Amino acid sequence: MDKHVEAKKSWARRKLGRLQKSLVRQVNKFLALSHKGYVFYEGRWTLTKIRPKKTRHTYHDGVRAWDLSDAAPLPFDEPALLRLNSESRSLPVPKKKKRKSKLRARRYLKPELGIDGLVEGLEQAGYRHVFLRWFEDLPRVEEGEDVDLLVEDEVVDALGEWFLAKPVAGAIRFDIYSAGGLPGTDFRGLPYYEKRLAEQILDHTVLLRDRYRVPHPRTHFLSLAYHAVYHKAHKSGLPPGAGEDPGLAADLEHEYPSILARMAAEQGEECEISLKGLHGMLERHDWAAGIDTIRKLSPGRPLLLELIESPPRGEVPGELCVFVVRQWAWERDLVPWMTSNLRAYGFDVQLVHELDEAERAVAASRIRGGNWNRGPWPESGGPPYALIAAYDYVPEPPGIQLKSTQPFAVNARSVEMKSLLRDGINRHVAKDERVNAVHSADDEQEAWEYLNLVCPDEISGLQAAIRSGYQGDPYLKLAINRSNRSVSHVVFRNGRPCILRHYADSEAGRLSLEAERKAMKAFAEAAWAPRWEDFGPNWFVQEFLPQRDRLDERLVGLDHGSRLRIAVDLLSTLAEIHAAGYAHRDVHAGNVFLTDDGPRLIDFETLVEQDPGVPFQESYDVCGKGLPSPFVTGNMCLASDSSKSVLKVLGIEFDEAWAAWIVERLKVP
């Protein structure tokens, strides 16, 4: 099957899928007691660890957590609580619970009306509307075909006057889309065209045979190209790029390549007739879909993701996070509370930008595809009113549970902070009045796009502030890990995140700290070692390595050769430790980080002396024998059978890695 096509499920497969989902919901209730559950990820059900549902304010020592999965928001003061429960100046609080609309874009024109009767009714009511494409033969519609109609939002409540929700004899099929993507007139939860583009289509129409409103020829070409690229994708018959195989040309409903080529020539537009070529043309004319829109359309159309260029790796480790404050929260003056929460959990708030009227219009029409409806919430938060840009110098990679629901999120802390803000508000709001008061970008690429759309003049200053490092609370501590030997925190020194590890006043704690001291004295200059900053009587400080650079997080996209290179580098590292007369004794994927300078090995709490006369191939770090296994590490070594072992994670056999390492050693003069 074509790599760009999602397999079509039969009725039986769809039924089985719903049954599996229902069964999993029941089973997970019991598995949750042991913090496990089934998650559907990458096409299959996977048993994984899940986050506990409880909420707590702090860890044991009164310090807020780096991991926000069970965090609680800061409390509101009394005036803020009063504002939360007061009526908005322009967003009325609903008195009755709203029900989600069951209507869909597919409607059926009442047979007694016909196309001409519909047009007459729309014109008499003064509603803006336009037949989007394949309108040349109107009012005749071939049997089995449907009509695509774009309407202004005000029409939606009146659709029942002309349309039925279910087919009857003689009814013509319509797909009806509103400019704002209102419920029942949306496309996969989005406006069919981004709202700014839908408004352009509605504003630039011509009359076909003095009766039927159709797009202006220029707008028609752009809108059809948009439809072919983003809605049809692989089903358009367009090749991904110049000279590439179009894939499904035999299954075309319409000859998009030849039609678009003809229209481009008529418009004097020189462009490559391919998905990438047309996407580039739409970008030049400010008609391209935004990154967040493309991502939301990509399920079932994975080819669309190739239209998004991968951004270069940022020069400052971390992740820019942009939170969009919606009208509901802005009018209740909740931005100070939001920024306080961000700072309390280690986000460096660099910009709070109130949108003026023009910027609100841009943000409302171009972010989220222009869809600011209430979605699954009882109440809509309204359009964007402010942006908060905060840099997270210590991001956390998403787990499988988050990836399954938000595949484009790259920082779990950003997603969990958004949930913390929403939940913190809604716990003080009546159940049938809960609101989605804040939105956030999925990743840094979306974040910069939001800023570039709304306040491009602020970007250079923001980039300079990020390069200067963390400028928040210099005494901030975030608990990152706790064991019976030590507790670790994220702290900031000279604007850079570091790990502060305090050790217990116990034999295990003292031995662990002493092992780290030995490692620093022996390997402080080694390129593969962590950067120890400072030592105290029961603590040390070392650099913070981003969790997303951990070996088991960075393997996606690495080919076999790159993985073998990592295995060889780690063998060289372990050989150096062995030659110095030591064994690490806890070499696993969670203790290896991939940096621009190569793999780095951390966590030397288990370091002990080892007779250098032991052959390297028989040493503990290679085979897990010859020394006692510390704590509960289970003889962890390079060639361990554990799922956490480096070679298991890399998918490299020991004999292959060893042979490649020997060959490399022979090359050294």
Binned at pLDDT 50, 70 and 90, residue 242 comes out as: confident
| Superfamily holding 319-467 | Nucleoside diphosphate kinase-like domain (3.30.70.141)
pLDDT for residue 228 is more than 60: yes
Q: Name residue 588's amino acid.
A: H
Q: What is the mean pLDDT of residues 152-159?
A: 92
Q: What is the mean pLDDT of residues 140-151?
A: 90
Question: Can you give the pTM of this predicted structure?
Answer: 0.85
Name 84's Cβ contacts closer than 8 Å, sequence gap at least 6.
76, 332, 334, 425, 428, 429
**3-state class of 149 per DSSP?**
strand
pLDDT for residue 292 is more than 80: yes
How many CB atoms are closer than 10 A to CB 60?
9
pLDDT score, position 95? 46
pLDDT score, position 376? 82
Percent of the chain with pLDDT over 90: 64
Binned at pLDDT 50, 70 and 90, residue 30 comes out as: confident
Cα separation, 198 vs 219, in Å, equals: 10
Name 357's Cβ contacts closer than 8 Å, sequence gap at least 6.
none
* CA 483 to each of CA 89, 463, 487, 500, 588: distance values in angstroms, whole numbers, following the listed order: 51, 38, 6, 14, 18
pLDDT for residue 217 is more than 90: yes
pLDDT score, position 71? 80
Fold that domain 547-667 belongs to in CATH: Transferase(Phosphotransferase); domain 1 (1.10.510)
Angle (deg, nearest 10), helices 654-667 and 560-579? 70
pLDDT for residue 620 is more than 80: yes
Cα separation, 564 vs 660, in Å, equals: 8
pLDDT for residue 430 is more than 50: yes
pLDDT digits 0-9 by tens, 371-393 = 888 878 888 899 999 999 999 99
Comparing 580 with 104, the larger pLDDT belongs to 580
Binned at pLDDT 50, 70 and 90, residue 170 comes out as: confident
pLDDT for residue 440 is more than 90: yes
Bridge partners, residue 600, by sequence: 593
Q: What is the β-pairing status of strands 146-151 and 172-178?
A: parallel
pLDDT score, position 90? 47
pLDDT for residue 311 is more than 80: no
Q: What is the mean pLDDT of residues 325-350?
A: 95
Domain edges within the chain: 1-50, 106-307, 319-467, 547-667
The full DSSP string for 389-451 is EEEESS-----HHHHHH-TT---HHHHHHHHHHHHHHHTTS-GGG-B--EEE-SSHHHHHHHH
Where are the strands (E) in 43-198, listed by range?
A: 44-49, 106-109, 129-131, 146-151, 163-164, 172-178
Q: What is the β-pairing status of strands 532-535 and 539-543?
A: antiparallel
pLDDT for residue 89 is more than 70: no
Q: Which DSSP state fits 231?
A: I
- Quote the mean pLDDT of the chain: 88
Where are the strands (E) in 286-406, listed by range?
A: 319-326, 348-354, 384-392
